[in-house]
Structure 1
Amino acid sequence: MYITITPQKLGGNYSQSSADFVEYLEKENQGLELGELTSQAAGGEHFFNQYGDRISAEEVIREIDGNTAKLKRNEPKFYSITVSPSKYELNRLQDSSVDLKIYTRELMKDYVASFNREIHWRPLTIDDIKYFARIEHQRTFKGTDIQIRENQPYASKILLLKTEIQNIREGRAVGNVQKIRAEIENLEKAAPHQQDGKRIVQGMPKAGNQSHIHIIVSRKDASNTFSLSPGSKYKASEIEMHGKIVKRGFDRATFFKNAEKTFDKTFDYNRNFAESYKARNDFIKNPKIYFAALMKLPTNEKALAFKIMGKAGIPIMPTIPATQAQLAMKIFNRLRRGAEVAIKSSSIGI
């Protein structure tokens, strides 16, 4: 599971309206027929919140933009939460559209519970926040993806060769077009990252189940009175304001842990060690502890953990040293370099 929480910016400034972001989330509607949009099969095509379904983009923009009282131009008006289950988690679902909607509504309860805030001297509840969510089922390869980056040298050579063919055809150069085409074909096949027999290029849809959740949540509470920032640098603290003690803070670690537990409980998911929040946190902060625990796992669970790690792009030694200490020391530095890729594959963002 990979979860991110980000304030929405337009260039270097915070967005003053949610319109651009909502338009971005509307992209999956493009090219779909009306019948498809209203069918049950396209259940993830509409916005929803804790109690409502089939909410229009116009209503989302109106509600979010109208809930920004007393916020300054240099303050976030809303936050984006992106939830990307791993392929193992998605395989556990019966219906991605239905199940992820159920999960989103439980997840947002975890979100609320992670605030160290009170409203009118009572804890926050799900009714105190204003959010809208949307489930998407497609992803495309971006320029930042490792597949695109590692295929880039081949793409550059292919582009040069195609330019050379164009020059030959227009009389600006002399050469054997057939030979150049054969060279291009060899480069296409030699590129390290392929999908369905084709070189992976930027903009190509990713294969398999790519279902994920986008959530837009207002910075202000539902009454447009109190500021609720998941970007707070405080986990839990108290300050005195106008002669009163006010709680503040948001505990991301608690949110991430509970998001994982909620998924497991909701779908009876047996989470592997390598997917757990605690394990991934240990991986970043103390790889020795991480691998010591890994080596103590039962054989079957250990094998699956290494499979998950391999898919994540974590560098694993060809042969496993005899002792846990040797293993941890030998790959310590390599693990640090692979940390970012590991986080994004099958764990919750830290």
Structure 2
Amino acid sequence: MYITITPQKLGGTYSQSSAGFVDYLEKENQGQEKEDMEHFFNQYGNEISAEEVIREIDGNTAKLEKTEPRFYSITVSPSKYELSRLQDNSTDLKHYTRELMKDYVASFNREINGRPVRLEDIKYYAKIEHQRTFKGNDKQIRENQPFATKILELKNEIRKIERGEMDGNIKACQQQIVKLEKEAPHRQNGERIVQGMQKDGPQSHIHIIVSRKDASNRHSLSPGSKYRASEVALNGKTVKRGFDRDKFFSNAEKSFDKTFGYRRNFVETYTSRKEFIKNPKMYFTALMKLPTNEKAIALKILRESGMPMLPGIPTNQAQLAMKVFNLLRRGVDIAIKSSSIGI
């Protein structure tokens, strides 16, 4: 499971309205028959229109500054192992979303009118998607890029030769292109993986758009708060503040397991992923001590995620930290997202 919480982008891809983001989430419905479309939903209803989502989110922004996000985006990406437990991806993920949002409100260290935040206090809309495409920061695209660049250069040479702008052997260029296509390290269904290509296999995931303001449009509820759980004096009163992401991520994982009877492997747990980043030596030690069957599954999951295995644990702690840090910089942190909750 991989979960991200990101604020609305301001002044860049998206405007201060939610319209751009909502339109983006409608992309899979293009060209679909009505009965095949995935609609927005929330805790109380299904088949909510995009227009209603935009109207409700954009109309719930009282007293927010222009530089403050109007909404947050939560993306929930189950792994292929987790998706294999579902009977119907669309129906089951809608059910899970409603359980997940209970975990979301329980993670706020806030009070509204002297009581904890409740489900009816938040305004959110969610949508299930079933496709993913390869993006520029994916490992497959990055490692295929040198081949893609050379192929493009050769195609440009062929066009120049055809126009008489340069001398050359078109057939030799075409043969070199065929060779490079085959040598590219990442392929899918016999073809070189390129940006925008749809990913094979189960890709169902959840997008959730949550208003920054509560349903009454009076209180700000930010999951992006830098405070986990604290109290502060405000106008002579003690006020609770904060959002506990650790609690949210852990409970989101537990809710999935309880809802679908999923038996989570060590390397899929949020706890182990935190251990990987904070104390990699302990992580690999715990991994090697797993029962034989569980360890085999764990190593299979890690290999499929593209995470390189350390050949040995350095004895010097500084060397270990640098080695693991370099692995993370080379994309391990991206690779492990396929089977874990983001930190």
- TM-score, structure 1 as length reference: 0.92
1:12 Cα deviation (Å)? Answer: 5.4
Distance in 2 separating the partners of 1:259 and 1:347? 11
User: Tell me, what secondary structure is at the counterpart of 2:26?
Assistant: helix
Q: Which deviates more, 339-348 or 165-174? A: 339-348
Q: CA RMSD in A?
A: 1.9
Aligned partner of residue 76 in structure 2, secondary structure = strand
Deviation at 1:346, TM superposition (A): 1.0
Partner of 1:233: 226
Q: Deviations over 1:12-37 (max 9, x none)?
A: 598421111101111111122xxx22
> What is aligned with 1:170?
163
Q: Counterpart of 1:209 in structure 2: which amino acid? A: P
Q: Provide, for residues 313-349 of structure 1, a one-character-per-residue CA deviation record: whole Å limited to 9, x for no partner.
A: 222146xx6xx88699986544333331344221111
Give the structure 2 partner of residue 144 of structure 1.
Answer: 137
Alignment partner of 2:35 out of 17, 21, 38: 38
Match of 2:20 in 1: 20
Equivalent-residue separation in structure 1 for 2:298 and 2:57 (angstroms): 41
Report Cα offsets for 1:162-198 as digits up to 9, x if no partner. Answer: 1111111111122222221111111001000000000
Is 1:301 aligned to residue 294 of structure 2? yes
Contact 2:14 2:21 in 1 (8 A): no
- 1:218 pairs, out of 188, 205, 211, with 211
Q: 1:334 to 1:313 in 2, by over 3 A?
A: farther
- Is 2:44 the counterpart of 1:55? no
How many residue pairs match? The answer is 339
Contact 2:102 2:119 in 1 (8 A): yes
- 2: CA distance, partners of 1:297 / 1:277: 17
Superposition pairs for residues 208-287 of structure 1, below 5 Å?
208-287=201-280
Alignment-mate amino acid for residue 38 of structure 1: E
Paired residue for 2:324?
Answer: 335
Separation of aligned partners in 2, 1:329 and 1:197 = 43
What's the counterpart of residue 4 of structure 1? 4
SS at match of 1:291: helix
The 3 A distance-change label for structure 1 pair 168 and 9 is: same
- Distance change (3 Å), C-alpha of 1:116 and 1:13: farther
| Larger displacement relative to structure 2 (243-252 or 183-192) | 243-252
- Does structure 1 residue 179 correspond to structure 2 residue 168? no
Question: What secondary structure does 1:344 align onto?
Answer: helix
Summarize the Cα distance change of 1:178–1:342 in structure 2 as closer, same or farther, 3 Å threshold.
closer
Residue 286 of structure 1, CA deviation: 0.2
Task: Describe the superposition over 1:297-325 as per-residue Cα deviations: whole angstroms up to 9, x where unpaired.
Answer: 1001001111111122222146xx6xx88
What is the CA–CA distance in structure 2 between the aligned matches of 1:16 and 1:329, rounded to whole Å? Answer: 45
**Amino acid paired to 2:327:** G
Q: Structure 1: how far apart are the matches of 2:193 and 2:326? A: 24
In structure 1, the residue corresponding to 2:199 is in which secondary structure?
coil
SS at match of 2:84: helix
Given that residues 5 and 80 in structure 1 are in contact (C-alpha distance below 8 angstroms), is that contact kept between their aligned partners in structure 2? Answer: yes
Q: How far does the alpha carbon of each residue in 1:278-303 deviate from its partner, in whole angstroms, 9 at most, with x for none? A: 00000000011111211111001001
Fraction of identical pairs, as percent: 69
CA distance in 2, matches of 1:341, 1:16: 29
Range moving further from structure 2, 101-110 or 5-14: 5-14
Residues 92 and 302 from structure 1, CA distance in 2 versus in 1: closer, same or farther, beyond 3 angstroms?
A: same
Q: Is the CA contact (8 Å cut-off) linking 2:19 and 2:54 kept in structure 1? A: yes
Q: Does 1:316 align with 2:313?
A: no
Deviations 1:120-151 (A, max 9, x none): 11111111100000000111111111111111
| Mapped partners of 1:144, 1:197: distance in 2 | 22
Please state how far the C-alpha of 1:58 moved relative to its aligned partner. 0.2
Deviation at 1:38, TM superposition (A): 2.2
Give the equivalent residue in structure 2 for 1:107: 100
> What runs of 5+ residues in structure 1 fail to find an aligned partner?
none
Q: Give the whole-Å Cα distance in 2 for the aligned partners of 1:226 and 1:316.
A: 47
Which letter does structure 1 place at the counterpart of 2:16?
Q
* Partners of 2:111 and 2:117 within 8 A in 1: yes
Aligned residue type for 1:195: Q
